[in-house]
């Protein structure tokens, strides 16, 4: 997996060494020799990963990272701090500044490339979500806050080989989190699908192959996006690399420092909450694209596309289907007499009654104004007429209550029905249904009209 890497170090020799290692693995490399230059380069080049030296004159690595993460244009670029500092408090300080990981000088090639690959996989996912989020913002919605309360009500599954180890590790976890422990590997894999926000796995256990547990969790579609934090011995470099290649998000070394563990957990949960929010916004935006905001029925765009699909199925002989067009009678009088708020209330109530009288397979949409369309798959004309009559009667049987008023209003609906014939396109079948609707209006309203006989209220 190739990518663009920004290398930042005030020592030219260190820059050239890292640049040579990265280019040998076919990474595109850009460089900077100061914190300010790194910020400017990140804005201009938009690298995929930043390798950032900590000890620099002027803006040190901590402050540079803090500024990068504070800017919405660069905050989603993963930052790996490269430092000779190896104390837990230094790592905690960097994590609190927004760093995604650490490498200790001199940099070992295996951990370097494993961590870059791991962060690149994450960035590809977040970049796709952020690109879609930008489309959502173009519709006028506010941007997602990238700093949600990550630990509030977070659920953590702690997986260890022994109860004693699980109890010890559990005592180091954030008090705000809800922690469950598991020592059986099969049970751990099964339980991981129960909506946890993070899995903490002790890879040092001799009781079973904990790497296999990581792989199974990552392979499961229900837990694929759940962050995994692994505990390893610092001397087991190959095991750490293997874990990162299997999809583990981050690693903490034994002996486990409480501050560093909590900082790494917070980093992973913050990133997960942000990604979850992006996904929810994407789902909401997709729903908005096919939903009428007032009635919560489908909109014209959606029903037209489904009509085309069903028309093609009818043409191939796979099914029969019909289209119903319903138009509220004298709706303009409602708006003119009682106001648009009352008119909206009538539309909402009509949509409610419409939904309650549909089959499970029927699709209803607000087509425009007071006009509604129902697509009825697997319904020949006789069934469509019966369904349309149920709707007409359901509207006329009880008055509508106007919003904010005790007054009740009698409402009726005229309906046109057309069966989709082989060779019909959307415009053709809609025109025939609309002609049936026009005949229903001409016949005195409050009736159903089709190519066959009308159905009228008694």
User: How many whole angstroms separate alpha carbon 431 and alpha carbon 66?
Assistant: 62
Q: At what angle do helices 88-97 and 258-290 cross, to 10 degrees?
A: 20
Instruction: Give the residue ranges of the chain where pLDDT is below 50.
Output: 139-141, 146, 148, 453-454, 458
Residues of the chain with CATH 3.30.70.270: 300-456
Is residue 382 within 8 Å of 322, Cβ to Cβ? no
Q: Which CATH class is domain 300-456?
A: alpha beta
Query: CATH says 1-107 is which class?
Result: alpha beta
Q: Which of 19, 260, 370, 389 is catalytic?
A: 370
**Residue 308 to residue 322: CA distance in whole angstroms:** 12
CATH class of segment(s) 143-281: alpha beta
- pLDDT score recorded for residue 437: 96
Tens of pLDDT, residues 220-252: 999 998 999 999 999 999 999 999 999 999 999
Q: Closest Cα to residue 385, out of 454, 297, 320?
A: 454
The verdict on whether 45 is a catalytic residue reads no
**Which residues of the chain form CATH 3.40.50.2300?**
1-107, 143-281
Contact partners, residue 373, CB within 8 Å, separation at least 6: 300, 303, 323, 324, 325, 326, 364, 365, 367, 430, 433
Structure tokens at 288: 């908005």
pLDDT for position 458: 43
Return the closest-CA partner of residue 60 out of 78, 87, 39, 30. Answer: 39
Q: What is the β-pairing status of strands 371-377 and 321-328? A: antiparallel
What pLDDT does residue 101 have? 85
3-state SS assignment for residue 276: helix
Cβ-based neighbours of 2, under 8 Å, separated by 6 or more: 26, 27, 28
Name residue, tokens 């690595």: 61
């Amino acid at each position: 997996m190739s990518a663009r890497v920004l290398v930042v170090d005030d020592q030219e020799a260190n820059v050239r060494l890292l640049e040579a290692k990265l280019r040998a693995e076919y990474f595109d490399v850009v460089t900077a020799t100061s914190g300010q230059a790194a910020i400017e380069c990140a804005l201009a080049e938009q690298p995929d990963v930043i390798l950032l030296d900590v000890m620099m004159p002027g803006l040190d690595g901590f402050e540079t990272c803090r500024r990068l993460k504070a800017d919405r244009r660069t905050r989603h670029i993963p930052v790996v701090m490269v430092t000779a500092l190896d104390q837990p408090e230094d790592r905690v300080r960097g994590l609190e500044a927004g760093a995604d990981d650490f490498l200790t000088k001199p940099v070992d090639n295996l951990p370097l490339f494993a961590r870059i690959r791991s962060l690149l996989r994450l960035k590809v996912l977040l970049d796709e979500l952020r690109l879609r989020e930008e489309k959502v913002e173009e519709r006028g919605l506010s941007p997602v806050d990238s700093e949600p309360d990550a630990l509030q009500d977070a659920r953590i599954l702690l997986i260890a080989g022994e109860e004693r180890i699980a109890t010890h590790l559990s005592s180091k976890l954030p008090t705000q989190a809800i922690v469950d422990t598991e020592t059986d590997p099969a049970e751990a894999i099964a339980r991981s699908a129960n909506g946890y926000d993070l899995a903490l796995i002790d890879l040092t256990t001799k009781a079973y192959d904990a790497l296999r547990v990581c792989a199974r969790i990552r392979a499961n579609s229900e837990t694929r996006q759940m962050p995994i934090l692994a505990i390893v011995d610092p001397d087991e470099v190959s095991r750490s690399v293997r874990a990162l290649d299997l999809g583990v998000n981050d690693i903490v070394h034994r002996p486990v420092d409480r501050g560093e563990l909590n900082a790494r957990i917070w980093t992973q949960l913050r990133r997960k909450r942000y990604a979850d929010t992006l996904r929810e916004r994407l789902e909401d935006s997709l729903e908005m694209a096919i939903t009428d905001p007032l009635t919560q029925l489908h909109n014209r765009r959606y029903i037209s596309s489904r009509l085309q699909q069903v028309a093609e199925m009818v043409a191939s002989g796979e099914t029969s289907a019909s289209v119903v067009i319903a138009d509220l009678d004298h709706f303009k009088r409602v708006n003119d007499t009682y106001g648009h708020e009352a008119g909206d209330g009538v539309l909402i109530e009509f949509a409610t009654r419409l939904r309650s009288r549909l089959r499970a397979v029927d699709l209803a949409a607000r087509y425009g104004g007071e006009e509604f369309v129902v697509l009825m798959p697997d319904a020949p004309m006789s069934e469509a007429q019966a369904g349309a009559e149920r709707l007409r009667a359901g509207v006329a049987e009880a008055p509508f209550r106007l919003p904010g008023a005790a007054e009740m209003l009698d409402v009726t609906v005229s309906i046109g029905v057309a069966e989709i014939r082989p060779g019909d396109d959307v415009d053709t079948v809609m025109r025939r249904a609309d002609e049936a609707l026009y005949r229903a209006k001409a016949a005195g309203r409050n009736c159903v009209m089709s190519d066959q006989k009308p159905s009228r209220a008694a």
